[in-house]
Structure 1
Amino acid sequence: MELEKLRLHGRVSLQFAVTATFIIMLVLTLGAIITLQMRNQSKMLKDLSRKVISAEVAAVRSDLNVFLRAPALANRMVAVLMSEQYSPSDQDLSKFEMPFAHILAEVFPDQKQLSLISFGSVHGEYIAISREILTNQFSLLLKDKRTNYYLNFYKGLQSSDPILNQFSHYDPRPRPWYAPVAKSKKPAWTAAYQDYDAVQGITVSFSSPLYDRSMNFIGVVASDIKLDNFDGYLRASPNLGNGAIYIVGDNNELISHSSLEIPLPRTPLLVLPTQESAKLLKPVDSANDMIKKSATLLFEKNIKDFEFDLNGEKIYGRVSPVADNNGLNWRIVILIPERDLLGTLKKDMLVTLLIVLSIGLFAALVAWKIIASITKPILLAAQTAKLLAKQEWQPAIAGGLQLKETKLLANAFDEMSNALSCSFEQLNYRIRHDHITGLLSREGLLEEMLEIVKKSPEMRWDALFLIGLDNYRSIHDSIGYEQGEELLCAIVNNLKQHLPQQALFARVAETEFVICVPVDFNVVRLDDLINKYLDSFSQSFHLQYDEVLITGSLGVVCASFNHIELIDHLRNASMALSKAKDKGPISYEVFQGSMAEQSTQKIHLIAELNAAIEKNEFRVYFQPVVRLSDSKVIGAEALVRWQSGQRGLVAPGVFIPLAEESGLILPIGHWVLRESCRQIAERLKNGWASDFDVHVNVSVRQLIQSDFYQKLEAILQEFSLSPHNLTLEITESILIEDSNVIATLISRIRLLGVSIAIDDFGTGYSSMSYLHQFAFDCLKIDQSFVSRFLDNHKSEAIVSAIIRLAGGFDVPLVAEGVETLEQAQRLHELGCQRAQGYYFGRPAPLEEWPEGWCGSGQSGPLS
């Protein structure tokens, strides 16, 4: 017996071992569940908070815009009234009592945020109509000759009504709503200030300067908004819950808030005339803990989304700016606590887990004799946790001895599964569908195809349409976010009218829609569909506030495909859509196999072009510019060539368009300009004629760069090249891009001493208007006219007219593409001064120029 005790010494009993094992398994299982739940919950909360906050921000911004739009409209109406009827000599404002009352009471009866409209003259007269918020009653405020220049508050809308209050020293001109605008003569929003009324509330005003018919400044008109009004709206927000919404101004002071705050002391009435702005509560002093905690984050001006912990709870927030051109610079802050997103789910989960833990401990203490039967359901509970992690929301715990405790465990997991299932079903729907139009998203389209193929494995689609909106972004910027969404829905509704049965319709990008046409759709119907889709953009869309004309283009892939080939067909349709957009608005293009090959070649060529910059594979060739009177070489045009290590000498017509498209034209163009100036500067130092002129082409993308002028100036200084030896050639199309900006830059360049030549004149947007607007020093006739003008009377007439035009502007003319002696002689006879072309010399590096050309020689005399 003693020996047996010795053998058992240090060993645990079976009861303890089984119980301990059970407890360890239970703890591990619950730990895994809690970990997975916390991780999934955190991700779900972030995604859900962003969507909820985005909706709340949109609602607040929309209503705030409505609140702020009324004062500007009221000001315009009062301005029209006063400018027509008011005279600076008027000291009696009685004729404005009823019109003012009509504007506030009749025009804006429901705009209760508009608490007062007023006018203060340059002489100190004052008239206003005030709205009492709770009763919506209106009353007159007046200061003029009839009131002995006292400010009277009347019970009604007429000066004959009883006087409720009276101030003897009121002058509108020093008031915050008058003085800044009177000084700047520009409409503006005031800072918050305390009003003179009975409530002495905090007000912001939209003030506008007022002029009479002779454009003499006669006073200021202002419309007031009580901040308390918007506080009430924020508190009544249906989505506020336990969160907070507030608006701060430039100084991080609370403009409006949804929280109940202790009001700050009001400024005494005697001090008001010198008051510039009211003292407002700062977020850090708020009675609301969430607002107070978020206050420190607002000092970072560029902050947008943020989160922080408060009393063990996660708070999610977003800052959204609200600004206009009239001095308004506010920020909306939305705060949503975690409990508003989860509701009672977190508490229920904790209770459920506590129940599970209690049941497990109870079972370990009282049911150890039947532990073998109980172990199986517990192990299945662990398997359930794994299923939850895989988002399999309908687990079932079964097998073994079904005691009450294990049944409760099963129910607890079922409740957890159902709660998570609802949340993730909603999330999955938002992923699969576009939230604006309700159409399938790109991911949703693929999943929808997968589900169809599961039911019908042989299912295929015959054609794919990719519809791209041509000018949506500019329209969206002009009509706003809300009407932009309305426009998208209207476009979708139009397209839905022409959807074939069983077709799939999806929005795969911001401005692109996909329609997958089912099998057995013949070519005739396909052409008909293309026409219907394009015709749907031929008429304007009537929105709530605007009528909008938007155009669309169409890329079509006519080939049978299934869900596996969808991505390839979308790529092919995108290539076709790009080709269609190159044609212009409301165009379509059917995908051809050659498009993919061209796209691949273009990508490879752009990559080689980028590498060529680093490898220094570009060369500058110079073609002589000749004076026709004596055949003397007086200048040269710099032309870029690409000496590729793989392709040899690549023609400019091949790589220049790609450089323009890819943006590589900027480094290439800068290199050509710098290298041309370097080589010419060296030749001038070695004895070339001091008036030798080098022409360098400049692309529109180069010219519109903000630092182009500085780079040009730096190049001239680097090589000590006189600006008078450089001419920049620009095409006519550049002058149309942004005429004001281009005109200013051209003027600066010419003041520097660099000449400007208009290249390819006559082939683009030739217009007397831009010739009059832009200063230039030279015209160049395009070679397309010169090459045929000897055989074509119309071409000769055009060339002759351009020569006379240049003479009228007193600028030299250069004829391009001269290839024969006859052309050169005829141009000279018509009065053309200069020329270039193969007849005089082909483009070549300067080191290969004949000795006779070198800055002072001749390329060959005219006979």
Structure 2
Amino acid sequence: MKLRFGLQARFLVAMALVLLVVLVMLGVLLQRQRLVERESEALSSDVIHQLVDGYLHGQGRELATRLADNLANPLYYSDLDAIGSILRDQKRDDLVQYLMVFDTAGHLVHDGSAEIEGYGQPMGDPLAAAATAAAGPHVQATAQVLEVSAPIRVGSERIGGVRIGLSMAVAHRFEQRNAERLRGRIDELSQRHQGWLALMLLALLAVLVAAAWYVQRLLVRPIRQLAASARRIEAGDYSVQDHGDTRNDELGDLVRAFDRMSESVARHDRDVRRMAYTDALTGLTNRLAFRESLDHRLMLLRGSGRQLALLFADIDDFKRVNDTLGHEAGDEALLQFANRIREAVEKYGGDDALLARFGGDEFVILIQEGDVRASATRLAEVLVAELRRPLDIHERQVFLGTSIGITLFPEDASSATALMKNGDIAMYQAKVAGKNGFRFYSRAMDHAVERRVHMEQELRGAWERGELSVVYQPVCRTSDGRVVGAEALLRWQHPMLGTIAPSVFIDVAEQSGLIEQIGPRVLHAACTEAVRWMQLGEGEKLFVSVNVSPRELRRGDLPEVVAECLRETGLPASSLHLELTETSVISDELQAAALLARLHSTGVKVWLDDFGTGFSGLSHLRRVPVDGVKIDRSFVADLQRDPDDLALTTAIIAMAHSLGITVVAEGVEKESQYNLLAERGCDLVQGYWLSHPVSASEFTHLLARRMR
């Protein structure tokens, strides 16, 4: 574990270093003081010794001189009693070790004692000779005694002398007593100074402790609080409380700046979370947040016996809104859809319902209250009804609708991933079933999806492998029954699956985008074949009609593709008819009108296929420039039995003719149907009664037979 060397630790270390330096300085000072004390003691001892020595010399000289004066008469008259009395008075001083009076010959006269044991005898000690010979005061010393001698005179005549021995031991004791007294005084002063130093050291320690507390309170604690807040922010906890610091200093500025920064970070975090978990356009929960909520709810529901339902709602044909009206209109449509779905979910989904936008035009709803199957069914019915109603976008009405897939937990799956996959599959099956409805997920749907994926894979490259072919269904004129053209139809003969119905694989091609590759090839093949028909001989020019898928129409480059195909094949533009579905054209009249105008500029004709099955009615024929309409086979099939179909067909023919538009009826399978259409003025017909779709070579033979 790595130790952390924080600010307070550094401050304490710095203070400890300062204290150590101070202690070292104090130690040095105390050491120097000890040296000064020893030097002072030595100097004092020398001074005392000099003073004592000077005192001894002075005292000895003075005493010797005074005794010499006082002993002059008693020695002259040999008055031993008087001499003894004078000497005994002086010997009372402890400093005087001995007193001796001698004559000129150096014989002892008196020593201050009562017996005078050496009286009249020569003095034999080592200092006697110098004392006897001295003409004046003379000082000499040994280790034990300091002797001062002086001659005794009467007038100018020397009659003897006096010797005074001062005790060095007494002097040394005096020196020691004074030295000890001085040392005691010095020690007392030293202790007093040491006391002051100790007080200063304690004061320094108190200052350091106070400084540490002050730094802790003023600097370290706020910084630690800031660091703790920063760590919480780093860990993702942005609920940092305002420190409320009112200090008017740099640290107060830092704390307030940090508080402002933390508020800004928290605000940005909320914004980021809102952006990360909320759809920016609709304000609904997005895919990420929905998935987290779904995982959490599934964890709580496992083993509880409760159910949960997911509804996947996808707007039908939404792309054409973006392609025709623009993305702003698409966003407006999404907002209106989201509001309608939200209202329905709030009313029928229950309190625990969750609505999310998965992106694009897909919405997902989670419900888990009560009987979820019944609740999901009721909600899906409401949504289908509500979302079928027209949208008012940019002062125009747009009809869309929705396809809804429903999956249940735990009946269909137990994991979030599987549930979402199943819901998507069910939603796709609702689209396959005709759109604008809902489907519950079933196991069979997995097989359908697998078949679709397999079919898409097989469809890729089918043209190159020669599996796709173009057949032609003749189009006849009702007035004389003559073949005037043919509709090019795509067929798929799979080597393993056999003949695949166009209603199956065309939808796969449309949904997967493969139609954008196949469509131009069909157009080129049909135009090439139409050129061969023109080479059969003189007579009426035949046309070929080619179906254009809504996806090709939405790309916007259809006029350029058509013009290039006409240049490459050499087919006159008037011999090419393009068939567009009614719903793909009337979904956006403005764009359709612009596109059809560009197509007309190339010379081709445009027919409206499956007419009568759209939502908009006949009024759009006045605003969309088309050359012909093809009445849907559903009307033709019941012409004889259903008066309404007959009346509607008659009305379509009459209105189209009034606008100068050619009318084609498809799905003619009986002679009676043909006769009814001819009676009401239908221009062209096609169907099995006239001819099934045939190959290019068979159509060529058909033309050749009819021309003979």
**Normalising by structure 2, what TM-score?**
0.51
Contact 2:608 2:630 in 1 (8 A): yes
Tell me how far apart the structure 1 counterparts of residues 401 and 649 of structure 2 sit (CA, whole Å): 39
SS at match of 1:851: helix
Tell me how far apart the structure 2 counterparts of residues 507 and 556 of structure 1 sit (CA, whole Å): 15
Cross-structure match for 1:730:
580
Contact 2:618 2:652 in 1 (8 A): no
Amino acid at match of 2:368: V
Q: Deviations over 1:38-91 (max 9, x none)?
A: xxxxxxxxxxxxxxxxxxxxxxxxxxxxxxxxxxxxxxxxxxxxxxxxxxxxxx
Q: Deviations over 1:378-423 (max 9, x none)?
A: xxxxxxxxxxxxxxxxxxxxxxxxxxxxxxxxxx999989854542
Give 1:768 deviation, angstroms.
4.4
Cross-structure match for 2:368:
517
Tell me how far apart the structure 1 counterparts of residues 486 and 523 of structure 2 sit (CA, whole Å): 13
Cross-structure match for 1:465:
310
Matches within 5 A, 1:148-547: 419-420=230-231, 422-426=233-237, 434=277, 458-459=303-304, 461-466=306-311, 468=313, 505=354, 507=356, 509-510=358-359, 512-515=363-366, 517=368
In the alignment of these two chains, the number of paired residues is: 451
Contact 1:461 1:516 in 2 (8 A): no
Give 1:461 deviation, angstroms.
4.3
RMSD between superposed Cα atoms in Å:
5.4
Cross-structure match for 2:688:
838
Gaps of 5+ in 2: 18-222, 239-268, 390-399
Q: Deviations over 1:516-568 (max 9, x none)?
A: 627x85766776777899999999xxxxxxxxxx9998654334279962221
Contact 2:485 2:542 in 1 (8 A): yes
SS at match of 1:775: coil
Matches within 5 A, 1:736-747: 736-747=586-597
Q: 1:450 to 1:640 in 2, by over 3 A?
A: closer
Tell me how far apart the structure 2 counterparts of residues 454 and 729 of structure 1 sit (CA, whole Å): 54
Contact 1:790 1:823 in 2 (8 A): yes
2:515 is the alignment partner of 1:665: yes
2:460 is the alignment partner of 1:610: yes
SS at match of 2:235: helix
Q: Which moved more, 1:418-427 or 1:731-740?
A: 418-427
Identity of counterpart residues, as a percentage? 27
Contact 1:452 1:459 in 2 (8 A): no
Give 1:778 deviation, angstroms.
3.1
Q: Which moved more, 1:468-477 or 1:678-687?
A: 468-477
Contact 1:680 1:694 in 2 (8 A): yes
The structure 1 residue matched to 2:701, chosen from 851, 856, 859, is: 851
Contact 2:668 2:674 in 1 (8 A): yes
2:520 is the alignment partner of 1:677: no
Q: Which moved more, 1:702-711 or 1:713-722?
A: 702-711
Amino acid at match of 2:450: T
Cross-structure match for 2:35:
none
2:622 is the alignment partner of 1:775: no
Cross-structure match for 1:572:
422
Q: 1:572 to 1:744 in 2, by over 3 A?
A: same
Q: 1:469 to 1:823 in 2, by over 3 A?
A: closer
Contact 1:818 1:837 in 2 (8 A): yes
Contact 1:465 1:554 in 2 (8 A): no
Q: 1:500 to 1:668 in 2, by over 3 A?
A: same
Tell me how far apart the structure 2 counterparts of residues 785 and 587 of structure 1 sit (CA, whole Å): 24
Give 1:749 deviation, angstroms.
2.4
The structure 1 residue matched to 2:441, chosen from 575, 591, 595, is: 591
Tell me how far apart the structure 2 counterparts of residues 628 and 840 of structure 1 sit (CA, whole Å): 11
Cross-structure match for 1:386:
none
Contact 2:353 2:368 in 1 (8 A): yes
Tell me how far apart the structure 1 counterparts of residues 327 and 374 of structure 2 sit (CA, whole Å): 39
Contact 1:688 1:856 in 2 (8 A): no
Give 1:596 deviation, angstroms.
3.2
Q: 1:802 to 1:553 in 2, by over 3 A?
A: closer
Tell me how far apart the structure 2 counterparts of residues 485 and 353 of structure 1 sit (CA, whole Å): 58
The structure 2 residue matched to 1:700, chosen from 550, 565, 578, is: 550
Give 1:675 deviation, angstroms.
0.9
Tell me how far apart the structure 1 counterparts of residues 330 and 616 of structure 2 sit (CA, whole Å): 37
Q: 1:617 to 1:514 in 2, by over 3 A?
A: same
Amino acid at match of 1:651: A
**When you count helix as a share of all residues, which structure comes out higher?**
2
2:620 is the alignment partner of 1:786: no
Q: Which moved more, 1:458-467 or 1:419-428?
A: 419-428
Give 1:754 deviation, angstroms.
1.5
Cross-structure match for 2:264:
none
2:606 is the alignment partner of 1:756: yes
Give 1:854 deviation, angstroms.
3.2
Q: 1:742 to 1:531 in 2, by over 3 A?
A: closer
Tell me how far apart the structure 1 counterparts of residues 508 and 285 of structure 2 sit (CA, whole Å): 35
Tell me how far apart the structure 1 counterparts of residues 627 and 340 of structure 2 sit (CA, whole Å): 52
Contact 2:315 2:401 in 1 (8 A): yes
Contact 2:405 2:439 in 1 (8 A): yes
Cross-structure match for 1:601:
451
Matches within 5 A, 1:12-91: none
Give 1:463 deviation, angstroms.
1.5
Tell me how far apart the structure 1 counterparts of residues 694 and 531 of structure 2 sit (CA, whole Å): 17
Contact 1:553 1:588 in 2 (8 A): yes
Cross-structure match for 1:120:
none
Tell me how far apart the structure 2 counterparts of residues 465 and 800 of structure 1 sit (CA, whole Å): 47
Q: Deviations over 1:744-763 (max 9, x none)?
A: 33233223322222333333
Contact 1:732 1:766 in 2 (8 A): no
Amino acid at match of 1:847: S
Give 1:767 deviation, angstroms.
4.1
Amino acid at match of 1:684: M
Tell me how far apart the structure 1 counterparts of residues 382 and 651 of structure 2 sit (CA, whole Å): 47
Amino acid at match of 2:592: I
Give 1:431 deviation, angstroms.
7.0
Q: 1:417 to 1:655 in 2, by over 3 A?
A: farther
Q: 1:512 to 1:616 in 2, by over 3 A?
A: same
Q: 1:554 to 1:422 in 2, by over 3 A?
A: farther
Gaps of 5+ in 1: 1-25, 31-348, 363-411, 540-549, 859-863
Contact 2:633 2:668 in 1 (8 A): yes
Structure ID, larger Rg: 2
Contact 2:473 2:692 in 1 (8 A): yes
SS at match of 2:236: helix
The structure 1 residue matched to 2:503, chosen from 653, 671, 676, is: 653
